[in-house]
Amino acid sequence: MSVPLTEKPNAENTPKSSSAGVIINGHYAPPPQDKDGKIWIRTSALIQGSPQELYDIWRNVEFIPSWQEEIISVIATGEKTSHWAMKSGDKTIEWDSEVLADEPGKRIAWRSIGGESENAGEVIFEPAPSGRGTIATVLQEFRMGKLASAWETFVGRNPKQAVIENLRHFKAFAETGEIPRAQGSSHGDRGVIGGMKESVYGEKIPTPPGPNQPVS
């Protein structure tokens, strides 16, 4: 055996395992694959802000319509439970949700407990190496057939992409106090092809209002 290199001026302790199963036994593990009617998405972002600040924004359930796409309202129904309403295509779907794990400044896990959406997920906040901000990792699962998922993609946003976009909106809000918005920009006549492109590019899904009053 050769002598291991020992000079590592800035190295930090390597985690043997990390949240959301990104590292297991010191080895990278890919995100869970869709199987048995469950679809999975794992996504993460580097956010300038402390884990506690970010946790506080996320845990404020009634504020969630300000930064998550298509969520019409979230009403806290108990310390750990809430009632959600979401726009899906032309209709509104509703469900109840409960918090399964609540570790202030670190982690929130939840699952739906009845209603028109079956989902479960967690968000983990941990300091990035060298104090370069906070890593927010979301692991979310939907119980949804491939057909239903394709339908969602067709009428609006692919559910996996929605989770990615919501984390992006969360980061923008946490870092800047608003969510970037091009919808409502001045433009000339889009015509038929321009309008089709807007749909294909996902520009017809309303950008969440952020700090603005929701447009009803």
Residues near other proteins, by CB under 8 A: 46, 48, 132-133, 161, 164-165, 168, 171-172, 175-191, 193-194, 197-198, 201-203, 207, 210-212
Pairing label, strands 107-115, 119-127: antiparallel
Q: How far is the CB of 107 from other proteins (least distance, A)?
A: 22
* Residue placing its CB nearer to other proteins in the complex, 20 or 47: 47
How far apart are the C-alpha atoms of 211 and 179, rounded to whole Å? 8
How far apart are the C-alpha atoms of 41 and 123, rounded to whole Å? 12
* Residue placing its CB nearer to other proteins in the complex, 30 or 188: 188
Tokens of 90: 């032309």
Q: How far is the CB of 39 from other proteins (least distance, A)?
A: 18
DSSP string, 64-97: GGGTSTTEEEEEE-SSSEEEEEEEETTEEEEEEE
**Whether 74 contacts 86, CB under 8 Å:** no
Q: How far is the CB of 133 from other proteins (least distance, A)?
A: 6
* Residue placing its CB nearer to other proteins in the complex, 43 or 82: 43
Q: How far is the CB of 13 from other proteins (least distance, A)?
A: 22
Give 91's strand partners. Answer: 88
* Residue placing its CB nearer to other proteins in the complex, 87 or 168: 168
